[in-house]
Amino acid sequence: MVHTRKSDTKQRPGFPARLDIAKPTMSSGRSGVAGGVIPVRLTQGVGMDSMAVRQGMVSNLAKQGISDQWVLQAMGTIERHRFVDTALANQAYEDTSLPIGLGQTISKPSVVSHMLELLRQGSNDRLGRVLEIGTGCGYQSALLSLLATEVYTIERLRGLHDKARANLRNLRLLHVHLLFGDGIEGYAKGAPYSGIIAAAGAESIPKAWIDQLAVGARLVAPVTVGATCPARQALVVIDKTPQGLHQTVLDVVHFVPLKSGVA
């Protein structure tokens, strides 16, 4: 059962997750991945449920430069086809974004894995408490459940919040807390966070996110950069250090815009 929390609830439930995943053997570069295949403890299955299908995606991600063993193993563990409509399941392991309803999309595996790798910033263990802005269908939330000890994820669209809850229910992730609310405000009651990741493009990084980020932690989000028309987005990494904020602008990306309020 996925634990759903309202913003006025004070006590946080316990964890860990019930999803079974082996701790990766950490190594530098890609040498620890034999042919890009990450060992996971799941049933073999057939068709879209086949481990080989997911491992094929993982192999392609490794070839594209994803080297974080925790991220690669999470990508090989979580079944992406269970988070998209049945009619699109045969495209689930292609490197493409797919519609999830209400004008929103599930991002490409290469983009998701790249952002998660950036968020982890080379850590050799799980992150602590993480905030996700934009739950969507719950796919990235499930991935984060394998990369962090506790996950707060907030969605402003009620239809997607409910869809994510349904998608995640069978995984029994007791340390993933689904919130319905305005992501621009973050979630102060769960702060400080060891990482914040956003799945929608902001005009600028909301002050609330910076305030809720722990010192020594990292934020990864798509942000509008420059004054081009149409507006151009890029991935931005912000490190909160004792000396202040350090911002790095990276790849050009295209995400749905970050909006305020709930619907």
Read out DSSP for 203-220? SS--HHHHHHEEEEEEEE
End-to-end CA distance of the chain: 24
CA distances from 150 to 77, 144, 177 (A): 18, 9, 8
Q: In the annotation, is 107 catalytic?
A: yes
**Of residues 107, 113, 145, 194, which has the active-site annotation?**
107
For CA atoms 167, 172, 174, 175, the dihedral sign is negative
Q: How many CA atoms lie within 13 A of 5 on its CB side?
A: 21
CA distance 140 to 137: 8
CA distance 180 to 18: 23
Catalytic residues: 107
